[in-house]
């Protein structure tokens, strides 16, 4: 049963929980083959902290963090290290040293305000859920780290962490509260070793899904002046330098998926790739990034609907591939969601005078208009298989709805899309809250009907059929939906504030 939200408690729990330990929580990468979690050897000479708060089954049958003692109030006007004992990463099986606090770099140009008291949690001006409730609820449920408590594979370096890092980085920019930034730092430090290597990451896997956390690494290196983060980002850049490509120059989705470009892969690789280029001044990367989008527009776009197919096989050898076009057979919602998020984020870093910038904006506008034509008229949401809403078994899916809402709101705020998309985004956000969100008795927010995972090929073989996509499991509060949901709220609030 839906109830009205009173989540001042959540915000307080978050501010207390930012320095607490708990059980880490994640899931397998999109379309990847399950792999056992790595066995880690504890570092010698590093004390292990007492285990964090246990998770217990509570309302709605979901894991909820046990209450923790509130820490003493402390200044948060600059990022700070975790207090007291070293913090243990329970899911990785080894202790991690608490980071050393360093003065915050000012080059990002964003001041961090000290929250003298816990911010009041209220509904947004439209009477709906706002970014503060969404973000605070996530940390109340995941106080220690960004993983799924019941899935071992999620304890690896992965793209879902990257999505949440981006969401909480944007919360920092939006609120000037460094607690959101510190949450990201704590999570990064579970993986980044003193020499800048990344625990559980293997370059030789050539999995483009491992790249998204790299944006936060580059920001962390600048904010905290910590060379470990830059070394780790350089390692991801090295992967892209040697990553296998199609004969036409497109990044393979993974080494295990040769000559295939998936829409997902554009979000996984290109925002980091172009952000790295801006930081290093390597303008040769700009055209390479544009090439990736041009290849997708050429090979994945359906001229009849204006929608984009999930994947393209250059060799036309896969069972799922059309023998003439190499395209997969259906328009999977989240794949298009990844793609529009990739476009709007890449435009942040592409120089204003780049000759292909207007082409990118035009391509984005055309796809956005096409997606609106296939939006459910009653709920203003999108279906799991976008163009087959009336077909039995199809359902309104939360991640594509959140991703498009975010991309359209941000696109309108930045002037990439016509101003009408602010209203379109608001309608869809309200639809998400009304039809896909539930709230428990403690005020925790749950985003329902998120497709847990979808892919193509592999073993067992995924054929890209309608039946395949609607048959994949759904997960409540899946990060691939929750992160974009939070970012959508932020962008809508920015638009209303004129930011």
* pLDDT at residue 283 greater than cutoff 50: yes
- How many domains would you assign to the chain? 1
The domain spanning residue 167 has which CATH number?
1.50.10.10
At residue 128, the pLDDT reads 67
At residue 110, the pLDDT reads 31
By the 8 A CB rule, do 334 and 403 touch?
yes
Give the three-state DSSP class for 400. Answer: helix
The bridge status of strand 311-313 relative to strand 437-439 is: unpaired
> How far is the CA of 244 from the CAs of 106, 292, 458, in angstroms?
38, 13, 18
By the 8 A CB rule, do 316 and 330 touch?
no
135 or 83, higher pLDDT: 135
Tens digits of residue pLDDT in 300-316: 999 999 999 999 999 99
Q: Give, to the nearest 10 degrees, the angle between helix 227-242 and helix 214-224.
A: 150
Helix ranges (H only) for 300-414 are 333-349, 357-373, 398-414
| Cα–Cα distance, 30 to 205 (Å, whole number) | 15
89 beta partners: 94
- How would you label 342-362 residue by residue, b for 16+ Cβ within 10 Å and e otherwise? bbbbbbebbeeebebbeebbe
Q: Give, to the nearest 10 degrees, the angle between helix 333-349 and helix 263-280.
A: 10
Which listed residue (144, 209, 264, 478) is catalytic? 264
At residue 68, the pLDDT reads 34
Tens digits of residue pLDDT in 445-491: 999 999 999 999 999 999 999 999 999 999 999 999 999 999 999 99
| Cα–Cα distance, 266 to 474 (Å, whole number) | 23
Q: Do the domain assignments include residue 257?
A: yes
At residue 499, the pLDDT reads 75
Residue with structure tokens 């002037």?
415
| Mean residue pLDDT across the chain | 81
Q: Do the domain assignments include residue 144?
A: yes
Tens digits of residue pLDDT in 373-412: 999 999 999 999 999 999 999 999 999 999 999 999 999 9
Is 264 an active-site residue?
A: yes
Q: Do the domain assignments include residue 38?
A: no
Q: Do the domain assignments include residue 39?
A: no
Domain of 194?
A: 8-29+52-497
Tens digits of residue pLDDT in 53-96: 332 333 333 333 333 333 333 332 333 333 222 333 333 333 33
Reported as a pLDDT band with limits 50, 70 and 90, residue 22 is very low
Share of the chain above pLDDT 70, in %: 74
Reported as a pLDDT band with limits 50, 70 and 90, residue 100 is very low
| Cα–Cα distance, 189 to 199 (Å, whole number) | 10
By the 8 A CB rule, do 421 and 370 touch?
no
| Cα–Cα distance, 286 to 395 (Å, whole number) | 38
Q: Do the domain assignments include residue 140?
A: yes
Q: Do the domain assignments include residue 466?
A: yes
Mean local confidence (pLDDT), 432-447? 96
Q: Do the domain assignments include residue 436?
A: yes
Q: Do the domain assignments include residue 291?
A: yes
Q: Please give, one letter per residue, the 3-state secondary structure of 291-328.
A: HHHHHHHHHCECCCCCCECCEEECCCCCCCCCCCCCEC
């Amino acid at each position: 049963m839906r109830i009205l939200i009173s989540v001042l408690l959540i915000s307080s729990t978050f501010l207390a929980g930012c320095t607490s330990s708990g059980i880490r929580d994640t899931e397998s990468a999109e379309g990847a083959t399950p792999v056992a979690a790595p066995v880690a050897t504890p570092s010698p000479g590093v004390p292990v902290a007492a285990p964090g708060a246990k998770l217990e089954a509570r309302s709605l049958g979901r894991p909820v963090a046990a209450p923790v003692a509130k820490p003493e109030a402390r200044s948060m006007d600059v990022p700070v290290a975790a207090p007291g004992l070293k913090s243990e990463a329970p899911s990785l099986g080894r202790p991690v040293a608490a980071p050393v606090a360093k003065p915050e770099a000012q080059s990002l140009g964003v001041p961090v305000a000290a929250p003298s008291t816990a911010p009041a949690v209220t509904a947004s001006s439209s009477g709906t859920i706002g970014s503060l409730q969404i973000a605070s609820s996530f940390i109340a449920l995941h106080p220690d780290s960004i993983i799924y408590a019941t899935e071992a594979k999620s304890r690896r370096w992965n793209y879902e962490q990257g999505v949440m890092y981006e969401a909480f980085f944007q919360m920092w920019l939006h609120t000037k509260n460094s607690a959101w930034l510190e949450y990201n730092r704590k999570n990064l430090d579970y993986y980044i070793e003193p020499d800048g290597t990344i625990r559980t990451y293997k370059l030789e896997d050539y999995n483009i899904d491992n790249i998204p956390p790299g944006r936060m690494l580059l920001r962390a290196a600048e904010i905290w002046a910590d060379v470990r983060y830059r070394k780790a980002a350089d390692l991801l850049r090295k992967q892209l330098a040697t990553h296998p490509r199609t004969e036409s120059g497109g990044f393979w989705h993974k080494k295990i998926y040769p000559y295939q470009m998936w829409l997902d892969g554009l979000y996984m690789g290109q925002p980091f790739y172009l952000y790295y280029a801006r930081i290093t001044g390597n303008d040769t990367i700009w055209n390479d990034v544009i090439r990736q989008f041009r290849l997708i527009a050429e090979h994945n776009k359906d001229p009849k609907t204006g929608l984009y197919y999930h994947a393209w096989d250059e060799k036309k050898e896969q069972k799922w591939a059309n023998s003439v076009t190499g395209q997969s057979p259906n328009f999977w919602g989240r794949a298009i969601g990844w793609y529009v998020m990739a476009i709007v984020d890449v435009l942040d870093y592409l120089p204003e005078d780049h000759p292909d910038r207007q082409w990118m904006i035009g391509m984005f506008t055309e796809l956005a208009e096409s997606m609106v034509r296939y939006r459910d008229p009653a709920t203003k949401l999108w279906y799991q298989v976008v163009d087959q809403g009336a077909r039995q078994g199809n359902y309104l899916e939360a991640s594509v709805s959140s991703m498009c809402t975010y991309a359209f709101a941000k696109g309108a705020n930045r002037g990439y899309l016509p101003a009408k998309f602010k209203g379109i985004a608001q309608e869809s956000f309200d639809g998400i809250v009304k039809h896909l969100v539930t709230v428990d008795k403690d005020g925790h927010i749950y985003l329902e009907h998120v497709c847990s995972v979808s892919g193509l090929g592999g073993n067992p073989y995924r054929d890209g059929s309608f039946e395949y996509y609607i048959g994949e499991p759904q997960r409540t509060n899946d990060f691939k939906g929750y992160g974009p949901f939070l970012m959508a709220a932020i962008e809508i609030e920015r638009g209303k504030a004129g930011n």
